[in-house]
Structures are given as C-alpha cells and as structure tokens.
Structure 1
C-alpha cells in the first residue's frame, strides 16, 4: 500500500494539488473506473480536467459522479456541462438541514486501485487553489488485503447511494435539473456571484480603515495556476508600428488571465470610433448582474464621478483616458483617447484604415488591471466570444434587457 499526504494552497509554486492527482490518475492506464462523491462541483472544476476526463472515457473508462447541491454551491452550468458530456451523475439532496459533504475520489482497475479522500471539492479552487488536505491510498488489489478492505468499507457505507436505493438520491437528467433550478436549489453562477456581492456590500466596504489594518496583519497567498488541460486561449490582435510609425496588425494566441473583464464593442461611437459604452448593470436570463463600469472602481450610481485611467496596449502606455457619465445617453463611457509620453495617440489606432472601419469596431476588448488606474488592453476577434463566455465566472448583456452587447468577468 502506498500512502501519500496531499497538501495544497500554501506553496503555489511547488504544490502537487489534489487536482494534479486526479489528472495523473485519469491518465494512468491501470485504472478503468472513476467515481467521485463530492459536496460541490463547478463548471471551472470540470473544465480544468476536461481533456483528461473525456480521454479517460474515450479509452473505455467508466465515470460516475455522486454530487451534492446544498447551499447553492453546485451551479446550473456545472450540471449542464455534465449532461452535455454524457457523464453519469447522481444528485444527493435532503430537503432539511442534513448536508451531503464528502470529498472522495476512487479509481479502480484490474490490478490496482486508488482512493483520494480529504477536503477538496470538485471545483477549481478546491482542486487547485484553496488550502486543502487529502490523503491518497494506492494498492495492488491482488496483494493488499488491507487496501481492499479499506475501499470496500467506503463502498459499503455509500451502498444505498451506489445502488440507487436512497430516497435522497436521483439520477441527473434535464428534467431533474429543471426541478432543481425552478426550486432554486441550483442557481446560475451569475446569481450566486450577485448574492455574494450583495453580502459583501451589506457587511461593509473593504476600503475601510479596519480592512486596511487587517491587510497589514495578513499577507496574501499566491494562487496556483490551474493546469492547461483546459486551455483558456483567445486570439489577440497586436498593434505594431515600424520606424515611420506606420501601423500593422498581427495575431497572437494568448491565455486568459483570472481577474480580467471583456466587452463586446459593436459599432463604437464617436467620430474617432473611440467611445466605449460601459453599463451600470447587466442582465443574464432576467437576473440583474453587476455592470461593466464597476470593474474600473466606479460606483455605478455616482454619476458625477470622472475617473482617468492609463491603458497599456501594444507595449505602449496611453495616459489619461477618462471614464464619465453621459446624461444625454444615460450611460457611462470610456473615452479611448490617451496619449503616450512620446505623443502617440490611442485614437490613431481607433481610426485605423487597415481594411477595417476602425481598430475597436466590432471587436472584443479585454481589460486586465495591472495596478491602480493602469489597465492592460488586448483586442480580440468576435470569434472568441463563445470561448470568453465559457471561461467567465459571470457574464451578461448590457442594460436592462437581454439584447445589449455582451460582457463578462474572467
């Protein structure tokens, strides 16, 4: 028998996280069966091991998940993804105060078995980023009676669930998912995000003196980057200048960064095609979500605010791009008109005539905060919209309806 302690979250550079063990096990040809008993599952948890998971199934492996939905912590999108992938899944839910809360992953083959048991839920943070602890137990089933007895005890305890005999256990189907959504046991990720944001507001702003004191006492841990098994990549259009300041466009594949925000531009207003609309709020499936203007640290209803930000694009820093509220249009706007220290104007890109109406027209602009008041800007093609939606923690349409331009938060 081989016992291994799995610690993660304290040393992001060197940790071998629970998710890494899952990936290793799914790639291990000795295993042909994978079961998971988990309290929560998220779409990002699935997507970070989706290549290995589908590869395991493609090689003839069987997968069965036993998932909880308590505390609204398993999302609608995660369960939809499991249905889409055709993964056999059972939902465990008791409509009282009893919470289904295990985190057990088992792998079995003809000769070897493995069980990973600990605190890691089937979410991106649980598998790769949060401070968690698990134990991996691996053994040869023909030689290790203790290991066989151990795994048999696990299965014996969950026997009624495994045999679909427990009244709190039901197979996941589109019909069951609709019931869970209609009863608000399972919520869209956008709604969960909104709930969390509301709680944060109710308990005070993080700009308070008390929070500043807290930050002086506690340092921030660096989060581990999830694996690249699910590559979150898009195509960036890089603006290049030669010695004569003539512009050209090249394409480059980039990986999305957590904490970024993207906005679909549409036609773009202004004579220089450089005025980007920002929303006070947005909508997704009739649920209100935070507007895009808040990403820049602006309170949407404080319409007298004028904020100036610097934008880094194509290796240059364009300073003094104002964000202001336009009463006549009843919306916020970012005016992309910054100028570098060398006198290069951002409007020279927005006016570009390289076979296009303008550098920002019918594109997607991806913003990533570098530091206070400085944001990196990358120009993406509209073809990347679905990839951005799939990788967003929340996304929606601008305005009060469901027909505005899309935006989202990575």
Structure 2
C-alpha cells in the first residue's frame, strides 16, 4: 500500500501511464467526477496501446458543477470500450475518484482525489492510496469485491446512469446544458470574474509541477518513445488564442492568416512573448504557435485535435510569390494516421464552408499540439470581453480580431 501525495511525491498521471504499459492487467475501470481534455489527451495514447494489446477500458464520469467537458467526453468515446455518465437532478454531486486495474493474477485499486484532468493527474495538490490486491489474501479480495459491487451498483442506476455510445449522445448533453465546451466555459468564467471585479492576492502561485509531453508525428523518433516533461502553467486549461475568421482563404476556406504584428485594442502584452518595444503593437498571432514572426524562412507542422481526433501536418508558413499577402498562414489541412482529412470532417458538419464567419480557438497542449474549437461569430463580443488581450490580426483597424484568454 502506498500514499501518493501529488505533486510532492509523484504524479498519478505518470503512474497510470506506467500501469497501462504493464502486462499484469487486462481491464481498467475509471470512475471520476470530472474529465477535461487536459487529462484525457495526455493519457489517450497509453489507453490505445493498452487496448491494442487486448485490454478493456471502462469509464464512468459525472457531469456536475461544469467539471466535465464536451471535448473530454468526445475523446473518451474514441479511446474507451464503454463510457457512461452519472448525474442526479436533485443536487446530489457525483464525486468519486477511483482507478481500478484488474488482471488475471492480481489487481490494483487507486482511491483518492484525482479527477481525469491535467490538474487532477499532474499539477494539483491531490492525494491517493494505491492498494495492490492479491487474491490469496482474504481482506484484499474483500476490497476488490467492494469495488466490483460499487461498479455494478452504478451500472444498475438506470435513471441516473446514461450510456454514451455515439457522438449524438454527447451532443445531446451539450445542447441541454449538462456539459460545456472548454473554451466557452473559459470565456463565461472570465466574463463573470470581470463583472465581479478583481481581488487581492493573499497566497503564492504554487509549487513546481510538470505535465508530460504528448508524442506526435512532429517529434523526432527518439523523442516519441519516451515523452519528456514539459513545464506549463498550473491548472486544467492551457493557453488559448482565438481568431475571427470572416471569409477565410484557400480553396476549402481552410487557411487562417496569422499576422506578423498585431495592432493592440485592449490589454497589455508586457512581460509576455508577444511584447514589442512599442505600446501600439505586439507580435502577431503566429507567435502563439512558437514561431518568430520575423523569421519568415521557417515553417512548422502542428497537430490539431478536432473533436477528439488528431490531425497531423497542419503547416504554418510565410508564403511567397504572387499569392502572398505579407502574412503568415496556418494551413488547416491535417490528416489522421489512417489518412482521413480534417477538411472532410468540416464538410460533414456543414454543406457551406464550415470555418467561414466563425471564431476559431486554439488551446495549447504543447508547442506542436493544440485542440481546436469552433464557435459562431455571434459569440465574438463574448470572446472579446473575456480576453485579457484583444488585438487586430494585422496592423490596421479593419483587420480581423484575435484575443488571448
């Protein structure tokens, strides 16, 4: 038995990835209150490796208090064998956190405070007890039976438990206000805080904690086999930038202009990588993706996670020639490992050009990996009000807007 005190004596996310790589276990049952993309995207590759080896992953998650997102459920649907949501309408909060590995010879039960989020698995202060279960010990077998009975009881709560088998099941939860898109909730909270006013800081910022690097096809081969830790801000939300799209460019209207510099409308980039010597302008939107706006000879391929699916080889470049407009471009043209195109995913969502007249938000998981959210341009003023920096995606007052949340 072991007490894990995160992040002081380890991080549960790292331990889960190690356990999923073990051949000792054939089933993983996860029962948590909350799930966010920040956690799911960082363990999805380990889940898939476990499943390809013949393992089974079952997840039961709550949707109370806005703690579980549309994006997380969408990703879980793709990387689990069964997924169910538990919710009570009368104010009972579904709040357990159990990770239960089962094997032919032994099992392992982890009970604690860790939700399936980046903070819960890596950066928050959390505690859990890790309990190996040996079938030769009567007390440990009784513990395992208790967990099995609890899972069975949850499954039998027919009016409180909803199996999630298709994407429309998740979309129905979104449409009825049980879950939210992560960036939309980030915008809502930011606007709420702005209306309530600021408060004095009475405490420090926290202790050092790291999130793991997600292996992508952009990595060098030696890096993809052993992800290295990456320092990031604390919390479940990465940095987010949004862009007003208007008409877009490209034959499929899938090319997003990224300015070299941006005219500041509100906020102060001082102390950030966006800052310039002048107070009127800041570095352009391409800076968010880790490219120096003036290094126009460089190119970069990024992976975009859209609705739970990773699309690689989305290229950022500074075009030259007759069609160049003096701006960087993000070509949203990625493909999956099986060859499915992100542009085809857009076409299934709209007969018109899906990205036209929208607000596109990119949330950074790491410097070459982002998840993308798309909103109608009717949300533009909400995004604008929630952002700590708002600027033009160019140097003129008529350029499209961008903002940093």
Q: Tell me whether the two structures share a fold, i.e. TM-score over 0.5.
A: yes
Larger Rg: 1
Q: CA-atom RMSD, angstroms?
A: 4.2
The equivalent residue for 1:193 is 186
1:157 pairs with 2:150: yes
Find the residue that maps to 2:5 and give its secondary structure.
Answer: strand
- Distance in 2 between residues matched to 1:351 and 1:157, nearest whole Å: 59
Contiguous gaps of at least 5 residues in structure 1: 236-254, 268-272, 281-292, 298-308, 324-333, 337-345, 365-380
Shift of residue 44, structure 1, vs aligned partner:
1.6
- Of 174, 186, 209, which residue of structure 2 is paired with 1:224? 209
The 8 Å contact of residues 394 and 409 in structure 1, kept in 2 or not, is answered as no
The 8 Å contact of residues 232 and 256 in structure 1, kept in 2 or not, is answered as no
1:92 pairs with 2:86: yes
Q: 1:140 to 1:54 in 2, by over 3 A?
A: same
- Of 161, 178, 184, which residue of structure 2 is paired with 1:169? 161
The 8 Å contact of residues 234 and 256 in structure 1, kept in 2 or not, is answered as no
Shift of residue 191, structure 1, vs aligned partner:
2.0
For residues 208-257 of structure 1, the C-alpha deviation after alignment (integer angstroms, 9 at most, x for no partner) is xxx15x2xxx222134221224559689xxxxxxxxxxxxxxxxxxx795
The equivalent residue for 2:41 is 47
Find the residue that maps to 2:89 and give its secondary structure.
Answer: coil
For residues 323-356 of structure 1, the C-alpha deviation after alignment (integer angstroms, 9 at most, x for no partner) is 3xxxxxxxxxx477xxxxxxxxx9976799x972
- Distance in 1 between residues matched to 2:53 and 2:104, nearest whole Å: 15
- Distance in 2 between residues matched to 1:256 and 1:408, nearest whole Å: 23
Shift of residue 75, structure 1, vs aligned partner:
0.4
The 8 Å contact of residues 105 and 134 in structure 2, kept in 1 or not, is answered as yes
The equivalent residue for 2:129 is 135
- Distance in 1 between residues matched to 2:117 and 2:293, nearest whole Å: 42
- Distance in 2 between residues matched to 1:28 and 1:171, nearest whole Å: 28
In the TM superposition, 1:13-32 aligns within 5 A as 15-32=9-26
Find the residue that maps to 1:48 and give its secondary structure.
Answer: helix
Find the residue that maps to 1:7 and give its secondary structure.
Answer: strand
Q: How many residues align?
A: 307
For residues 47-99 of structure 1, the C-alpha deviation after alignment (integer angstroms, 9 at most, x for no partner) is 11111111000100011011101112100111111223353101111111111
Shift of residue 319, structure 1, vs aligned partner:
3.0
The equivalent residue for 1:339 is none
Q: 1:86 to 1:159 in 2, by over 3 A?
A: closer
For residues 370-391 of structure 1, the C-alpha deviation after alignment (integer angstroms, 9 at most, x for no partner) is xxxxxxxxxxx76689895574
TM-score, normalised relative to structure 1: 0.63
Shift of residue 20, structure 1, vs aligned partner:
1.7
Q: 1:80 to 1:319 in 2, by over 3 A?
A: same
The 8 Å contact of residues 112 and 140 in structure 1, kept in 2 or not, is answered as yes
In the TM superposition, 1:57-76 aligns within 5 A as 57-76=51-70
Find the residue that maps to 1:197 and give its secondary structure.
Answer: helix
- Distance in 2 between residues matched to 1:138 and 1:360, nearest whole Å: 60
Find the residue that maps to 1:135 and give its secondary structure.
Answer: strand
1:322 pairs with 2:280: yes
The equivalent residue for 2:197 is 204
